[in-house]
A = this chain, B = another copy of it.
Amino acid sequence: MSSNHVVTFNQARRVAIFGGTHGNEMSGVTLVNLWMGNGGEIRRKGGRDQALHHQPQGGGEVLPIRGHGPEPGIYRRESQFNPLFNPSAPGGKDLPYEVQRAQEINRMFGPKGSADAYDVIFDLHNTTSNMGCTLILESSKDHFNLQMMSYIKKAIAPASCPVLLNEDPRLKYATVRSVAKHSVGLEVGPQPQGVLRSNIFEAMRIILKHALDFIELFNEGVEFPPCTVDVFKVSERMDYPRDANGNIIAMVHPNLQDCDWEPLTPGDPMFQTFDGKTIPYEGVGAVYPTFINEAAYYEKQQAFVTTRREALAANAIRKV
């Protein structure tokens, strides 16, 4: 597929915004609650004269969806939800709640891979890491998403909006948002679990505004020309140093803490043991760590992920 080729997609008539996949990530929970009460802010025009607004059946819609995760404020292990999502698994009332809920989402917003699936799902997350506003892309071939992310990056400049590409099947987790034709993860931080910070709330809100503006323009027939999108491609998961019993024996080094997206080169301090020794990074070449010291990833034995920078070419897109 050459970069001169214009890729066409159907109108994005059905858009969902998930807040509360993790119920203690309060920005998304709060925004979606707000929009369920009053959807004016996420209402957009679509097609020619047709209003794209919040209506669960028919027409165009932007649908805020609350918490297919647990009750807000209650911590639930990551492993109890996302990784268990397998839309093709057999159903049944004996399955864990989260799996039943994932299957229900697949029925409501998928089925995954089908023509009936939702066009776009935004999945709102917070992180305790200093990641700013990060867009998560699950396929480097999704020209619709690449164009959307390019649009958002330009719209919020000079603020930055890193794109994290995670398409390596060894490293990625199944996500419920992936039932849609185009799924976008949004991670905004730093924010502790269970806390709502105004700066993080507003940052997430602005990203969503630009994303919905993009969809509206696309639906109105705007053609987006070819472009290049700088992304950070997930390379490797790094665990905390551990003793023979599996207990953590070191912390993220103060020089690395909060330095998401900044280069880490061989020899740079990476961990600090409880007795004060520095453990340096010993990989090959510069990497760009992110998800540094994320609370939810201790249980995944992940202190951070390394990424490498790439520039992805996005073809021109327009609606069919």
Contacts and interface: CB of A to CB of B under 8 A. Distances in A.
Copies of this chain in the oligomer = 2
The binding surface of chain A is classed by DSSP as loop
A292 to B, nearest CB: 10
A129 to B, nearest CB: 9
Contact of A194 (B190, B274, B298): B298
A49 interface: no
A251 B193 contact: no
Contacts of A274: 30, 34, 201
A75 B24 contact: yes
A251 B201 contact: yes
A74 interface: yes
A254 interface: yes
A137 to B, nearest CB: 26
A278 to B, nearest CB: 11
A24 to B, nearest CB: 7
Interface string A254-281: 1001000000000000001010000000
Q: Which of A30, A194, A254, A295 has the most CB of B within 10 A?
A: A194
Q: Which of A24, A74, A274 has the most CB of B within 10 A?
A: A274
Interface size class of A (residues with CB under 8 A): 20 to 34
B197 A257 contact: yes
Given A73-B298, A274-B34, A299-B73, A194 B193 contact: yes
Q: Which 4 A-B pairs have the closest CB atoms?
A: A192-B192, A194-B295, A75-B75, A128-B192
Interface of A: 24, 30, 33-34, 73-75, 128, 190-199, 201, 247-248, 251-254, 257, 272, 274, 293-296, 298-299
